[in-house]
Amino acid sequence: MPFGIRDWRRLAILVTAFTVSHSVTLALATLRLGSVSSQRVETLIPRRFW
């Protein structure tokens, strides 16, 4: 097994947090309860990977 139990647990938590945050973001956008300019989003995307 390439990963230990702790690694799988951390991965599951990370994937769950990612999914929940995207679901909340999509719900807020759908209900028009918040908005962010596309320019700001496009500026922040590359910083996420560094």
Rounded to whole angstroms, the Cα distance separating 12 from 3 reads: 12
pLDDT for 38 equals: 87
Angle at 3 between CA 23 and CA 6, to 5 degrees: 65
**The two structure tokens encoding residue 25:** 């973001």
What type of residue sits at position 38? Answer: S
pLDDT for 30 equals: 93
**The two structure tokens encoding residue 42:** 């496009």
Q: What is the model's pTM?
A: 0.64
pLDDT for 1 equals: 57
pLDDT for 44 equals: 78
Rounded to whole angstroms, the Cα distance separating 15 from 45 reads: 18
pLDDT average per 10 residues of sequence, the chain (50 residues): 82 93 92 88 72
